[in-house]
């Protein structure tokens, strides 16, 4: 069995549009590689810093993600290799394993679908779009009853006065 503690730099961005590990970010890998009958079993953790956007108020969010890996990399011509579809198992290729896809998959599953800057982020004002966290307390707008809105529009048009209908 081999134990591997390494720091790698992500070659590409991992994650979704809302949050992810940026390309060029260092990830700490703490892995054990074990030879089993069907291949190499990789277990351990990987962690790295994430950068994203709060899904409610759009403020930047920085966090750390830690994933637990348990991946079998099947030997060529092993039972697993021969009986499992290509996309369902990783493989040992040229005596080496490529962790990249395994990491991308694991991190993708671990990242939140809707990242939040904090649990009770109030988000944006639905009327003017200001972040309610930075707005004055009790931020609100005078609302015009929708039944009156058409009337108000008409008054506004007449108020212009600069156009004549000839």
Q: How many residues bind Zn ion (CB under 5 A)?
A: 8
Q: Does 54 help bind Zn ion (rule: CB under 5 A)?
A: yes
Q: Does 127 help bind Zn ion (rule: CB under 5 A)?
A: yes
Which residue, 13 or 139, has its beta carbon nearer to Zn ion?
A: 139
Which residue, 47 or 54, has its beta carbon nearer to Zn ion?
A: 54
User: What are 27-33's contacts with CB under 8 Å, separation 24+?
Assistant: 27/103, 29/4, 29/5, 29/99, 30/4, 30/5, 31/3, 31/4, 31/5, 31/6, 31/69, 31/99, 32/1, 32/2, 32/3, 32/4, 33/1, 33/2, 33/3, 33/4, 33/97
Q: Does 19 help bind Zn ion (rule: CB under 5 A)?
A: no
Q: Which of residues 23-52 bind Zn ion (CB under 5 A)?
A: none
Q: How far is CA 80 from CA 65, 75, 99, 105, 128, in A?
A: 31, 8, 18, 20, 57
Out of 17, 85, 128, 163, the only residue in the binding site for Zn ion (CB under 5 A) is 128
Q: Does 121 help bind Zn ion (rule: CB under 5 A)?
A: yes
Q: Does 125 help bind Zn ion (rule: CB under 5 A)?
A: yes
Q: Does 18 help bind Zn ion (rule: CB under 5 A)?
A: no
| Least separation in angstroms between CB 139 and Zn ion | 6
Out of 14, 29, 57, 92, the only residue in the binding site for Zn ion (CB under 5 A) is 57
Q: Does 65 help bind Zn ion (rule: CB under 5 A)?
A: no
Out of 10, 42, 48, 56, the only residue in the binding site for Zn ion (CB under 5 A) is 56
Positions that interact with Zn ion (CB under 5 A): 54, 56-57, 117, 121, 125, 127-128
């Amino acid at each position: 069995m081999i134990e591997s503690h390494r720091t790698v730099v992500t070659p590409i961005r991992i994650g979704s549009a809302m949050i992810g590990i940026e390309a060029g970010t260092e990830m700490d890998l703490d892995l054990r590689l074990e030879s089993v009958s069907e291949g190499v079993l990789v277990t351990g953790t990987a962690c790295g810093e994430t950068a994203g956007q709060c899904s409610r108020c759009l403020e930047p969010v920085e966090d750390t993600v830690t994933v637990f890996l348990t991946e079998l990399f099947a030997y060529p011509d092993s039972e697993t290799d021969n009986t499992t579809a290509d996309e369902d198992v990783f493989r040992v290729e040229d005596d080496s394993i490529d962790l990249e896809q395994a990491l991308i998959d694991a991190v993708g599953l671990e990242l939140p679908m809707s990242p939040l800057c904090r649990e009770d982020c109030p988000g944006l004002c639905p009327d003017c779009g200001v972040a309610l966290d930075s707005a004055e307390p009790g931020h609100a707008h005078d609302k015009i009853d929708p039944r009156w809105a058409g009337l108000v529009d008409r008054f506004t048009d007449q108020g212009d006065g600069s156009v004549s209908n000839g």
